[in-house]
Each structure stands twice: as C-alpha cells, then as structure tokens.
Amino acid sequence: MAASETSNGTALRYAFGNVLSFFILLLIGVLAFSIRLFSVIKYESVIHEFDPYFNYRVTQYLTKNGIYDFWNWFDDRTWYPLGRVIGGTVYPGLTLTAGTLYWILNSLNIPLSVETVCVFTAPIFSAFASWATYLLTKEVKGAGAGLTAAVLLAMVPSYISRSVAGSYDNEAVAIFALIFTFFLYIKTLNTGSLFYATLNAIAYFYMVCSWGGYTFIINLIPMHVLLCIVTGRYSSRLYIAYAPLVVLGTLLASLVPVVGFNAVLTSEHFGSFLVFIIIHVMALVYYIKGILSPKMFKVAVTLVLSIGLVVCCAVIAVLVALVASSPTKGWSGRSLSLLDPTYASKYIPIIASVSEHQPPTWPSYFMDINVLAFLVPAGIIACFSPLSDASSFVVLYIVTSVYFSGVMVRLMLVLAPAACIMSGIALSASFDVFTRSIKFQLPGVKGNSQVDAGYTSSEGVVVQNEVAKTDKNEEALKERPSKKNRKKEKEHLEKPSVKAQVKKRLLVLPFEASIIAILLLILLGAFYVVHSVWAAAEAYSAPSIVLTSYSHDGLHVFDDFREAYSWLSHNTEVDDKVASWWDYGYQTTAMANRTVIVDNNTWNNTHIATVGTAMSSPEKAAWEIFDSLDVKYVLVVFGGLVGYPSDDINKFLWMVRIGGGVFPHIKEPDYLRDGQYRIDSQATPTMLNCLMYKLSYYRFVETDGKAFDRVRRTEIGKKHFKLTHFEEVFTTHHWMVRIYKLKPQKNRIRGKAKKSRSKPSSTTSTKRSETQRKNPWH
C-alpha cells in the first residue's frame, strides 16, 4: 500500500516537474522574443542594416510572384550591366521561412504586411533556438542543465546582436537550425533510431538552405565521429547516427541551387566522406571481431593490415589528386581565411574590408558572451565527469567554435550557443552540489529532501542510501519498500552506486560555504541579465538606417537615408542607374527601386574595383567611367556635418585598395601623406582632387564658414572648388547622403579636335589601349 502511494507520489512529481518545465520553457520563449523588441519600441518596425534589405526585397518578390518565379528570377536591377541570377545565388531558407509564415498568416485571415513578418521572424526563431538549446542540453546533461542553458541562450548578447526585431538576416534562422541539427544528431547517437537520423538529415537540409555556415556542421560531426573512433568509443549507434546523415545530407545539400555540386566537389565536404569510409571500415572490423574467436581475429588483423595499408595509401593518393586538380585546392576564400587568418588580408581585400570578417578583440568577448566566458571552463570540467558520447560532442563544439570566433568576429555567433550550453551545464552542476550539501545539513527538511531526492533515478538511490546511513530515523524505514521496488527495476544501477556513494560524500560542502556560493552564483546570473538587457536595449538595437543622438537640447533623429532613397524613387526615371559604394547597393534597390552598379553581394571583384577606381579618380576620368557604365546619379554618404563615422570618406582607403588591386594606376601611397590618411591641408593633391573628396565636401564650407569635419576633427584641405562634370541635385537634411547627377556631355567635336591636334596619332592609339585596360566597360 505504502509502496503504491510513494510511486504515485513520484509519478505526480514527474508530472509536476514536466508541467513546470513546460511553463518555464514557455516563459523562456516569451523572454527570448520580447528582449529583442527594444528596437521596435525605441525606433520603429523597420528592417535594419544592409543585407536584410536584400532579403526583404527577395521575400517581397517571393510572396508576390510565387516560388517558381523566385527560382528563375534574374534580377536586372543590380550589378548593371551584368545582372544577377537571384534564385541560384541565395541561400533560400530565410526567405522561404518568412514567405511561408506570411502565407499561413494570410490564409488565417491575419493580414500582416510582408515587412512586419520579416521584422519579427528573427525574434520568433530565437525563441525556437532557445527551445532547441533546451533539447540539446537535456540530451547531454539532463533537464536542469537544459533549462539553464535555454535561459542563457534566450538573452546572450552575441545572439541578440544578430536577431533583434528587424535584423532579417540568414543568421536569424540559421542558429536555430544549427542547434536543432546538433540536437537531432545527439538524439540519434543516444537512441540509435533511424527515425531521428532521417529527421537529422532534414534539419541539416534546412541549415544548408539557410546559411553558408552549414560547413561547420558537416565538419564538426565527422570530427566527433573520428574522435569517438580514435578513443575507442565506436558503437553501432554511432554508425546509425553518421552514415545515413552523410548520404542523405549530401543529396539534400546538392538540391539547394547555391550549393549544388559543391556538396561533393569542394574540400569543405571531403572530410565527411573520408570519415564515412573510415566508419565503414570500423563497422566491418567490429562485426568480424564479434563473430570470430579472439585468436582467429588476431590472424585476420595481421593479414588485413598489410593489404589494408596499400588500399589506404591508394585511396589517399586518389583524394589528394582530386583535391589538387580542383581550382584553389577546392577551398573557397572565406574558408581559407578561416584556416589561415592572414589569408584574406593578403589576397582578397574585399573580404578583409568587411568589418565583421576581422578578428575580434578581447573586450568583444566580454561584451558578447559576458560572464559565460568564465563559466565555460567549469562546464567543460562538468562534461568530463562522466564523459559520454554526447558530452564529448559538446566539448568538441566549444573548442572548435572558440577557435573560429577568434578568426572572425562574425563567428562569435557560433560560439554563443556552445558557451550557453557549457555555462548551463556548469551552473546546474554547481547548484546541484550546493543545494545537496545544504539539504544534508538541514535537519528540519530531512523528510523533504528524501522525497525530493526520490525522483531522480540513480542519484536518488544514492542519496537515499546516504541519508539512511547517516541518520537512521523512521522516515528511512518508510522509504524502504519503494526502494525495493526501484531495486527490482534498476539492478544494474546498484553497482556504480557504491562507488558513487564515496564520491558523493566527498562532494558535501560546509553549510555556510554553499549558501554563500549560491548567493554569489545568483549574483553572477543577475549581473548577466543586467548586462544582456543593457546590450539589447542600448548597444544592439539601432537599426543603422535611422540614427539617433542625444545632446544637450534633447534627442535628434537622423532619417537621412530614407529621405535620400525616397527622393531617388520620386524624382528619377525608373531605369536610371545609381552608382554608390557597394555598401548601399541593397538599400538602393530595395528602397529606391533603382538599378545599382554594385551591391553587398560582392561576387564580382572587378566590377567593384571599377567603381572604386571611379571614386578615387579625378573628376573627368571618373565621369568617363561612370558614363561608360550608363550611370545617371552618384550617391555618396557623408558624415562630416553631424559626426557619423562610417561614411564614405572613412571607407575610402578600401575603395583605393580594391580599385588598385585590379587597376594598377591607382596607388594607395598617392592618397597618403607619410603613411597617414588625412583630408586637411596636409593631404596629397591626388586625395584633394579625387571624386570622393569632391563629392563629399562640395559646398561644405557654406555650412559653417570654416568647413570643419566633425568625424575627422579637422578643417578640410580644399574648401572652395567647383564641379565640372557633376552637378549636385539633392542633399539630405543633415547632409548625410548627397546625390549628384552626371552632367550631359559637352560639345564633343571641339574637344576631340583639340586632342587630336595636340597629340600625334601614334600616342593616341596607345592611350586608347591604355584606357581600355583601365576601364573594361569602354
């Protein structure tokens, strides 16, 4: 009777625990969603930054024209005159997700605009991501650690920075897909079920759809498999978790147009095939070992080893030959710069010029993962006791992601979930130890502690044993029947419990120490929460399309970008081409709906270099380049009046570098005075005469009479000048965006005649060929 009562009690407790954790998860989801709404509350519901505008435009196209038009979409509004095949060059996951959300909502008669759906996609998926973190950590270390990790992930600043409302970028859904794929892998590894293996491959497909970072998965999982094999932890569950994933995953990945045959042809994926072969060999070895007697097996090993070595050498030789025959050794530039951090800055200025591809600084670690950085080592230690397949995977995950985050600031995002999982494990393990020590030393709540301990399986048995031994009271006697019950169920658990008993007793800490430690941990958690909320509210929610600043006379809002783009869309012809540096390409096509020359996709270095060359050339040469590209308007961003630091003058050296990389007549030293970049009276004449300088500072002296640049904090070098080939057509309220129109060609015959008279014909021909080389669009 008593036994059934207590088992009823534990069942109730289980149910209660499940309901409780369900509600906790629900609240975590709400927290993850709402902490990302600061940007909407403080600013407005807009799309942020640069890339999200492109994604937004693609989503609009998708919802308007349907999926088939989307796959076949050739975009003529960008990369003029080349254009771009959108369907084959984007990762479609994010767009399809938001499009599906939009369709579902509209079929339910909830008429949201596409923009609203896009703005809120990232917060919704961050809630999903924290649930996926719960599942993953639960598989590794139990539900307590799972809940802690989910809370931590819901507000880790690094992830918030990429997923605030309005930040509609690939990473928003990709982090969820990443964690969920890892969860399914671990789940398959723990259960050995083919069903989860299928789901795992489909989750991997979603990840491939959403982000180029999928190569991290397809390299990390083989690494873990290899680690398991090398450390002698091979099991048939490992085979079921890995082998179907490779076959199905490779096929699914090649279905995504942007990946295509790369899934079998590039070196990023070769590692997985190699491990695929190795795991088959291991499976065969284990199988033969199982059916043969040990003595015969030894014979077989010696026999096979000699043949196997030869075969292995042959396979490796074939692989090496394959790798060597493919261009750039089969590695893409971004992946190479991951392996060799100095690669990009040496060879590809366009990758190095993006600020999020730079290596991070130490403060950025503290800013982005805060106290988690200190908890991670503790988590690693907790993972080693005891080391299982799942926990070794998490350890491997954190180690590799720490390395990658050290190479590129952007990959801090991959580190954040790993850090959250580790810290969740560490926090929950330490709370476990401290609360247990308190429980043992509180005489008043002994009865409680027993029932409490009763519902954790093996640990509970141990705790009961200990309590029963240390102080024999009648409550222990009461427990006995239920203990017997459990003994029947879990005979195999009894053996390790004896060993664990000794260990557990060592883990009991002094009462005061554990109370203080718990208080300190709570304080640490509170500090983390305060920091995260501050980061979400202040640091990461600025949309960068609308800027604000506080000064003594209140809040200023700079809405110059949208002012300029709407001017363009209202005052220019539909087919006019607008040239600007590539940062503003996506925004111009999305908001002004005008054709641009280059945009943030940066796939054609030469084309970008052409624009860079034009910006760094003197007015006449620049006019010729732009005219050959059919450009009608030139747009420059200028922050000198209001002190907006990321303007075109500050990016100008990259234009010179990228332009000079393709057209050697642009030389960086020409723009630098003694190695220093300056725009005051000490600046070089090349600098003072280049187009970017002129377009930025034209009529600037009229603002305050001194032409004082607030970003560079100097007076500019050349104040009074006139434009000969361009005319100013629009300058926004705070002068942040200035739009110029190319003047129509002058009377051509007179100019030509003059030129041909002054120069002999032979030199004109060489000159012509030279200009042709300088400008491919002539």
Partner 1 sequence: MVKSTSKDAHALFHSLRSAYAATPTNLKIIDLYVVFSVFTALIQVVYMAIVGSFPFNSFLSGVLSCIGTAVLAVCLRIQVNKENKEFKDLPPERAFADFVLCNLVLHLVIMNFLG
Give the residues lining the site for partner 1 (CB under 8 A): 192-195, 197-198, 201-202, 235-237, 239-240, 243-244, 247-248, 250-252, 254-255, 261, 264, 283, 288, 290-293, 296, 299-300, 303
Cα 23 from Cα 34, distance rounded (Å): 16
Q: Which is nearer to partner 1, 300 or 493 (CB)?
A: 300
Report the first-to-last Cα separation within the chain, whole angstroms. 95
One DSSP character per residue, 717-740 reads: S------SSEEEEEE-TTSSEEEE
Contact 772, 778 (CB under 8 A): yes
Cα 181 from Cα 86, distance rounded (Å): 27
Q: Which is nearer to partner 1, 252 or 629 (CB)?
A: 252
3 state DSSP class of 274: helix
Q: Which is nearer to partner 1, 306 or 551 (CB)?
A: 306
Cα 559 from Cα 555, distance rounded (Å): 13
The CB-of-506 to partner 1 minimum distance in angstroms stands at 33
The CB-of-299 to partner 1 minimum distance in angstroms stands at 5
Q: Tokens for 396, please give them.
A: 């491997």
Q: Which is nearer to partner 1, 474 or 489 (CB)?
A: 489
Q: Tokens for 121, please give them.
A: 């996609």
Q: Which is nearer to partner 1, 283 or 518 (CB)?
A: 283
The CB-of-181 to partner 1 minimum distance in angstroms stands at 16
3 state DSSP class of 609: helix
Half-sphere exposure of residue 36: CA atoms within 13 angstroms, side-chain side: 32
The CB-of-271 to partner 1 minimum distance in angstroms stands at 17
Q: Which is nearer to partner 1, 243 or 515 (CB)?
A: 243
Q: Which is nearer to partner 1, 264 or 662 (CB)?
A: 264
The CB-of-136 to partner 1 minimum distance in angstroms stands at 22
The CB-of-628 to partner 1 minimum distance in angstroms stands at 39
Contact 94, 210 (CB under 8 A): yes
Burial class (CB in 10 A: 0-12, 13-18, 19+), 588: buried
Q: Which is nearer to partner 1, 247 or 316 (CB)?
A: 247
The CB-of-243 to partner 1 minimum distance in angstroms stands at 5
Which residue shows structure tokens 């996709």? 601
Residue 70 is which amino acid?
A: F
Cα 422 from Cα 426, distance rounded (Å): 6
Cβ neighbours of residue 590 closer than 8 Å, sequence gap 6 or more: 47, 53, 54, 56, 57
The CB-of-494 to partner 1 minimum distance in angstroms stands at 19
The CB-of-291 to partner 1 minimum distance in angstroms stands at 4
Cβ neighbours of residue 737 closer than 8 Å, sequence gap 6 or more: 560, 561, 563, 564, 635, 636, 637, 638, 731
Q: Write out the H or E segment, with its range, that includes residue 310.
A: helix 294-325
The CB-of-409 to partner 1 minimum distance in angstroms stands at 36
The CB-of-290 to partner 1 minimum distance in angstroms stands at 7
Residue 744 is which amino acid?
A: P
Residue 313 is which amino acid?
A: C
Cβ neighbours of residue 196 closer than 8 Å, sequence gap 6 or more: 184, 187, 188
Q: Facing residues of 578 across strands?
A: 596, 633
Cβ neighbours of residue 158 closer than 8 Å, sequence gap 6 or more: 368, 369, 412, 413, 415, 416
Angle at 374 between CA 368 and CA 377, to 5 degrees: 120
One DSSP character per residue, 233-246 reads: ---HHHHHHHHHHH
Q: Which is nearer to partner 1, 244 or 776 (CB)?
A: 244
Cα 676 from Cα 678, distance rounded (Å): 6
Cα 562 from Cα 559, distance rounded (Å): 6
What letters, b where the CB count within 10 A reaches 16 and e where it falls short, cover 305-322?
eeeeeeeeeeeeeeeeee
The CB-of-61 to partner 1 minimum distance in angstroms stands at 23
Q: Which is nearer to partner 1, 252 or 737 (CB)?
A: 252
Quote the longest CA-to-CA distance of the chain.
117
The CB-of-263 to partner 1 minimum distance in angstroms stands at 9
User: What is the dihedral angle through the alpha carbons of 757, 761, 762, 765, rounded to the nearest 10 degrees?
Assistant: 100
Residue 633 is which amino acid?
A: Y
The CB-of-195 to partner 1 minimum distance in angstroms stands at 5
The CB-of-20 to partner 1 minimum distance in angstroms stands at 29
**350: alpha, beta or left? (left if phi > 0; alpha if psi -120 to 50):** alpha
Q: Which is nearer to partner 1, 20 or 194 (CB)?
A: 194
Cβ neighbours of residue 293 closer than 8 Å, sequence gap 6 or more: none
Taking CA atoms, 685 is separated from 1, 188, 669, 680, in Å, by 98, 66, 12, 11
The CB-of-572 to partner 1 minimum distance in angstroms stands at 43
Q: Which is nearer to partner 1, 203 or 422 (CB)?
A: 203
